[in-house]
Amino acid sequence: MSVQTAKRRLSPANIEALKGERPIVSLTAYTTPIARLLDPHVDFLLVGDSLGMVLYGLDTTVGVTLDMMIAHGQAVMRGSERSCVVIDLPFGSYQESKEQAFRSAARILKETGCSAVKLEGGAEMAETVDFLVSRGIPVLGHVGLMPQLVNTTGGYRSVGRNEKEVAKIRRDAKAIDDAGAFAIVVEGTVEPVAREITASLRSPTIGIGASPACDGQILVSDDMLGIFNDFKPRFVKHFAELAPAISKAVEDYANEVKARTFPGIEHTFQLKGVR
């Protein structure tokens, strides 16, 4: 009889417990093959609503639906076995009321098997975060630059550059921390603010464009792999340049098809006995 050791995923509580232990590693993933490649190296995979821009060519994340998030969440769950998977609540699926947020988050957990959701918002979302957490839904917060608010904030500008903005991000981070988030994404802010928030919160901060002072880091995987090159914010580092590699591969393929050198004999099925 073979004894199989069940492989256990990291839980939101495991992620929370990493604060003060070591930096937390995270990337976005939207598909099964990419999740498979990322899974051995990260603590959590975020199925971010950035998939609207990265995969679907939308201008903002506002058009992303709950069905899109669930379909991609299922794909990422199929491609991973050890990392904690967190799925974004998309715009319009949680802001109306805490009850609406619970219904959307419960659908995500039930239909994908993931263990947590992320939502954007500060003090105004604290009651919702508390409602979800106290009813069994772990929440990853998201403060600072909040892409779902692009239509009211007017763009993707970093925040925390004046006293009013610093006071707001401080207030927002504390409110989401007090509400019970297991970790908080801090996006697009200056280093002193990120450092202060990280030192003052119970939960770990996960920075994106928020300096090395955070407890962990997250990037959009297509950005750091050099696939999504529509724009490159200052905080993105290309750890690979896959876009030119893909272009070159496709150019070579096109040339070989035109020259009839592909498919070769080694790629061609033959009748048995015929050479």
Q: How far is the CB of 249 from ligand KIV (least distance, A)?
A: 26
Tell me if 93 contacts ligand KIV by CB under 6 A: no
Q: Which of 12, 24, 35, 88 binds ligand KIV (CB under 6 A)?
A: 88
Q: How far is the CB of 227 from ligand KIV (least distance, A)?
A: 14
User: Which CB, 113 or 233, lies closer to ligand KIV?
Assistant: 233
Residue 266 is a catalytic residue: no
Within residues 147-206, the interface with ligand KIV by CB under 6 A covers: 185
Tell me if 48 contacts ligand KIV by CB under 6 A: yes
Residues that contact ligand KIV, how many (by CB under 6 A): 11
User: Which CB, 29 or 137, lies closer to ligand KIV?
Assistant: 29
Rounded to whole angstroms, the Cα distance separating 271 from 134 reads 65
Rounded to whole angstroms, the Cα distance separating 29 from 87 reads 10
Q: Which of 10, 38, 45, 50 binds ligand KIV (CB under 6 A)?
A: 50
Rounded to whole angstroms, the Cα distance separating 179 from 182 reads 10
Give the CA count within 13 Å in the CB-facing half-sphere of 128. Answer: 26
- Among 6, 52, 32, 10, smallest CA distance to 138 is for 10
Query: What residues have CB less than 8 Å from 49, skipping those under 6 apart?
Result: 61, 64, 69, 88, 90, 91, 147, 148
Q: Which of 38, 218, 225, 227 binds ligand KIV (CB under 6 A)?
A: 218
Question: Where on the phi/psi map is residue 135: left (φ > 0), alpha (ψ -120 to 50), or beta?
Answer: alpha
Residue nearest to ligand KIV (CB): 48
Q: How far is the CB of 136 from ligand KIV (least distance, A)?
A: 23
Tell me if 215 contacts ligand KIV by CB under 6 A: no
Using CB under 6 A, which of the segments 48-56, 128-136, 154-162, 258-266 binds ligand KIV?
A: 48-56
Residue 101 pairs in a beta bridge with none
* Contact in structure between 45 and 80 (CB atoms under 8 Å): yes
Chain CA centroid to CA 199, Å: 23
Binding-site string for ligand KIV from residue 7 to residue 46, where x marks contact by CB under 6 A and - marks none:
---------------------x-----------------x
Active-site annotation, residues = 187
